[in-house]
């Protein structure tokens, strides 16, 4: 069965890039534009893997991950964080919030799909 990936990013460019890479790899992709939208979309449609940006309006990635982990249905849904560079502080915060792993932007489609595959049950 096709796995569903939810991408949460306020940048249309980034959403499009994720969409292209993930669809090429055979995933179903659903999208959200910020943390609040992400939580709503996740609650409504569910996902096998979540990829989220950190800097977003309304609710940022940290808030989104914490919100997601507070939901019993998504406590164990893998969640990858997009970070611009290997920013140790951000990674640590994301991990503290409950992120499963991270993808460093700009990402290579192969590495992205690899990371998704690694965390997808």
**Does 25 interact with another protein (rule: CB under 8 A)?**
no
Residue in 55, 56, 53, 57 with CA at minimum distance from that of residue 99? 53
According to the binding rule CB under 8 A, does residue 46 interact with another protein? no
State in angstroms the smallest separation of the CB of 16 from another protein.
5
71 binds another protein (CB under 8 A): no
Question: 60 vs 2, 35, 81, 97, 109, CA distance in Å?
Answer: 28, 6, 11, 12, 24
The three-state secondary structure class of 34 is coil
The correct pick among 52, 62, 113, 116 for binding another protein (CB under 8 A) is: 62
In this structure, is the dihedral angle defined by the CA atoms of residues 88, 34, 71 and 6, taken in order, positive or negative?
A: negative
Cβ–Cβ < 8 Å for 5, 30: yes
CA angle 70, 1, 20 (to 5 degrees): 80
Is 56 one of the binding residues for another protein (CB under 8 A)? yes
110 binds another protein (CB under 8 A): no
Work out whether 57 is an interface residue with another protein (CB under 8 A): yes
Query: Which residues partner with 30 through β-bridges?
Result: 6
Q: For residue 45, state whether it binds another protein (rule: CB under 8 A).
A: no
| Binding site residues, another protein, CB under 8 A | 10-14, 16-17, 20, 33, 36-37, 39-40, 55-57, 59-60, 62-63, 66-67, 69-70, 75-79, 84, 88-89, 92-93, 95-102, 105-107, 118-121
């Amino acid at each position: 069965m096709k796995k569903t990936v939810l991408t949460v990013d306020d940048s249309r460019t980034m959403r499009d890039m994720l969409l292209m890479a993930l669809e090429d790899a055979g995933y179903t992709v659903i999208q959200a534009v910020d943390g609040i939208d992400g939580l709503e979309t996740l609650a409504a449609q569910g996902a096998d893997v979540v990829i989220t940006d950190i800097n977003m309006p309304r609710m940022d990635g940290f808030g989104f991950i914490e919100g997601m982990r507070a939901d019993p249905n998504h406590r164990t849904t893998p969640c990858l964080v997009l970070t611009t560079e290997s920013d140790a502080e951000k990674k640590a915060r994301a991990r503290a919030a409950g992120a499963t792993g991270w993808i460093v932007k700009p990402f290579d489609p192969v590495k992205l799909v690899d990371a998704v595959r690694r965390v997808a049950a």
